[in-house]
Structure 1
Amino acid sequence: MPPRHDEAPELAPPNFPEVHLPPSGPEAVYVPLHAQATPVKLEESTNPSTINAAYAAPFENSSSSPYTYDLQSAYGAVPPTEQGKAHKRILGCSILVFTLSVIIAILSAAVIGLAAGTGVEANRANDAEARLASMTSSPTTVTVTAPTSTSSGFSNIDKGCSTNSASVTGSTYTSQFFDRPAFKIYCNSDAPNNPLSSLFVGDFDDCIDACASYSFYIPSDFSNNATSNNATCAGVSFIPAWTNRTFAVEGNAPGNCYLKPGPQNETALNNPNIGSAVHAAILDTSS
Structure 2
Amino acid sequence: MEAAPKYPQASTYQHSTLPEPVSRETPLSNVTDTTKESFYHPTQVPVGHIYEQPRPNKSWIRWPFLLLAGLFIAVIAGLAGGFIGKAIEGSKAHNSNEAHASACSSAVPSPTSNSTASPTPEAIVVPKTGCTDTGGRTSSVNGNTFQTDFSNATYKLFCNVDWVGKDIASVYATSVSDCVETCDNVNQDNLINKTCIGATFVPAWVDRTLALRNVNRPSNCFLKYDAQGYPGNKREDEVVVACLEGKCPQG
| TM-score of the two chains, using structure 1 as the length reference | 0.43
Higher gyration radius (CA): 2
The structure that is helix-richer by fraction is 1
| TM-score of the two chains, using structure 2 as the length reference | 0.48
